[in-house]
Structure 1
Amino acid sequence: MILKDKTQTSSASVKLDAGIKQEHDVAFYLRRAYKNSDQVMVLNDLRIEHDGESAQIDHLIVYTYGFIVVESKSIRGEVKVNEYGEWTRSYKGQWSGMPSPIKQAELQLKLLKQYLCANTEKVIGKFLGIQQGLGARCYDVFCAISSDAIIDRSNAPKDIADKLVKSEFIADALDKKMNFKKFYNVVGKIYDTRPTFSQQELSHICQFLLGNTPQIESDSVNEAHAAWPSPGNTSSTTEPLPVVVPAAVNNTWDSTVSAAQPLHINSITAQCKHCGDCSALSPQSGRYGYYVQCGKCGGNTPLKRPCQVCKSQNTKVSKSRLLYQLVCQGCRNTADVFKVQKG
């Protein structure tokens, strides 16, 4: 069951855009696998705070036997993990070190466990007058890597290699780890000594996690549940997940101007988010609104982006003949984002 979906967000960085898309891809596979499950609860983009520390968890799985943190990692090119668990990655033929996303997920999981154990009475109740514990439950992590990455696990320690999967295999890895016994596997159930959560306890746990820490949400009106296109779908009739491309804007906002007075930025340069070209773009419309298609690489780039004045995500793209404009629903700023050139 999907209790907190991945919020549609965007950024002003190509690198961050790739990370956002990777999180959406993983959320898509999790939703496909568990949206109708009563034993598996999925919370995307979950923020927790405890003892002066905070963590933003990409994907948290709360299931009958415990908790699994899934860290999404966007990697183009090749990634290697050596025998010491150290990570390196290639980008345009250049190799460099990178922080271990497995270690990052483990730190998030540790904070989650401390947070839950410190609030046991609020999270789950008593059984036969005895307070149940959370420390002995199952706690695991996985790292979901971009599907187009090349992963070299040949020298990686087994415990790390087993936690490193590509996005499309994340549900398979989770199913294996959660290891639900089939209803006919009586022997397996008898010898399964893992403490379990009841359906009511699962509900209480998720309500506690969602209700006790303010969740950072986008104010975008495009947030949708169970309606994202599948990863890699870039047909001309279905627009990819909205992202923001770098824009050439030299205007500044005078904070003394009333927000009730519409402002106008002459133009925001549209460019292909895949190859960076600005000269071979053609306007299109799809399921998620207006976008431009690159005549050089064929990639699609949404015209929708945050307001350049107040940074609000609550914007809309409107068309008037040959001109496409971005209108902020907050400060009412209007900016030209694309104009069809005649001839």
Structure 2
Amino acid sequence: MRRTYKNSDNVMVLNDLRIEHDGESAQIDHLIVYTYGFIVVESKSIRGEVKVNEYGEWTRSYKGQWSGMPSPIKQAELQFKLLKQYLCDNTEKVIGKFLGMQQGMGMRCYDVFCAISSDAIIDRSAAPRDIADKLVKSEFITDALDKKMNFIKFFNLAAKIADTRPTFNQDELQHICQFLLGNTQQCQNYSVNEKPAAWPAPTPMTATPETTSFAPVEPAEQRVSPTISAVAKPSDAVAAQCKHCGNCSTLSPQSGRYGYYVQCGKCGGNTPLKRPCPECNSQNTKVSKLKSVFRLNCAECSTITKLNLNSR
């Protein structure tokens, strides 16, 4: 999935995503967020043979011994039920309004797949059709996803007119992913695929040499020159603050695909360090790091603002 969708503007992949809502929680192996909706992919590493009978019941063999196993499809469907409820209950936080009307989440496409190890033997001959179609070997998963997402070619005007599926634009896709990743504390080992179909992965920061500063990878439309003007103007320090709980004192710096951010030690939420310039309010900024000091560099007015991560 990383290789297939890393250059896609319409598909984002979130791995090992944790959702908490209404006293329930779900750990989703892979969530595809795309123009028309969402797809949960439950991955199973299984050696040997897997059978699904006409009742949708699963059995597997291990060293010649057969035993029953929980249905990964049912597991994915329960995860999706919680995810859909979570999104629908937070619609106003996830997507905005169109022509003054609040858009909905309920009519989007919601689907599930189970990806089984490529070296497993799958017997789906007796399985119900709706289950058999969702059971895919891992090397064919992107083919199944492409077929399900069904992106219509730009030149097929008739098909586009007949397609009534509500859509997310690119900004909404980004905001949905940010909402899902930022509102629940994630496991430290989750990862996401490369930009632009990506979102920050909470990997620990590593020290950089004194003579260099790390320039975060950014989309082409946000990329600015890595060189700071010689007439750059210093500005007063700005305190970083958790956007979820307002905490300022226990923020842990992290780095991801889209640059630097902080993880709150109080609520566990993630907050990007990139922000508008405090001098000219330009969005054309980037964050750099030299030793333990973080700076916000503005490409419009050349202001350099120190970011204070532990203000009390």
Normalised to the residue count of structure 2, the TM-score between the two structures is: 0.61
Q: When the two structures are aligned, how many residues end up with a matched partner?
A: 194
> Structure 1 residues 211 and 167 mapped into 2: Cα distance closer, same or farther (>3 Å)?
same
Q: Distance in 2 between matches of 1:189 and 1:64?
A: 14
Code of the aligned partner of 1:38: D
Could you say which residue in structure 2 is the equivalent of 1:211? Answer: 182
Could you say which residue in structure 2 is the equivalent of 1:23? Answer: none
Code of the aligned partner of 2:20: E
Code of the aligned partner of 1:51: D
Q: Distance in 2 between matches of 1:225 and 1:133?
A: 27
Match of 2:15 among 44, 50, 53: 44
Could you say which residue in structure 1 is the equivalent of 2:96? Answer: 125
Q: CA deviation at 1:224?
A: 10
Match of 1:176 among 118, 130, 147: 147
Could you say which residue in structure 2 is the equivalent of 1:79? Answer: 50
Could you say which residue in structure 1 is the equivalent of 2:87? Answer: 116
Q: CA deviation at 1:214?
A: 0.6
Q: Does residue 1:56 correspond to 2:5, yes or no?
A: no
Give matches, 1:290-329, under 5 Å. Answer: none
Q: Distance in 2 between matches of 1:203 and 1:129?
A: 21
Q: Distance in 2 between matches of 1:102 and 1:188?
A: 31
Q: CA deviation at 1:85?
A: 0.4
Q: Does residue 1:156 correspond to 2:136, yes or no?
A: no
- Show CA shifts across 1:283-310 (max 9, x none): xxxxxxxxxxxxxxxxxxxxxxxxxxxx
Could you say which residue in structure 2 is the equivalent of 1:93? Answer: 64
Counterpart secondary structure, 1:196: coil
CA contact (8 A) 2:6 2:193 kept: no
Counterpart secondary structure, 2:59: strand
Residue identity over aligned pairs, in percent, reads: 85
Q: Does residue 1:105 correspond to 2:49, yes or no?
A: no
CA contact (8 A) 2:14 2:193 kept: no
Counterpart secondary structure, 1:190: helix
How well do the aligned residues superpose, as a CA RMSD in angstroms? Answer: 1.5
Q: CA deviation at 1:200?
A: 1.1
Q: Distance in 2 between matches of 1:92 and 1:218?
A: 31
CA contact (8 A) 2:11 2:33 kept: yes
Q: Distance in 2 between matches of 1:128 and 1:180?
A: 25
Counterpart secondary structure, 1:187: helix
Counterpart secondary structure, 1:141: strand
Q: Which has the higher strand share?
A: 2
> Structure 1 residues 121 and 224 mapped into 2: Cα distance closer, same or farther (>3 Å)?
closer
Q: Distance in 1 between matches of 2:159 and 2:172?
A: 23
Code of the aligned partner of 1:205: I
Could you say which residue in structure 1 is the equivalent of 2:4? Answer: 33
Match of 1:197 among 164, 168, 192: 168
Counterpart secondary structure, 2:153: coil
Q: CA deviation at 1:216?
A: 1.0
Q: Does residue 1:147 correspond to 2:118, yes or no?
A: yes
Normalised to the residue count of structure 1, the TM-score between the two structures is: 0.55
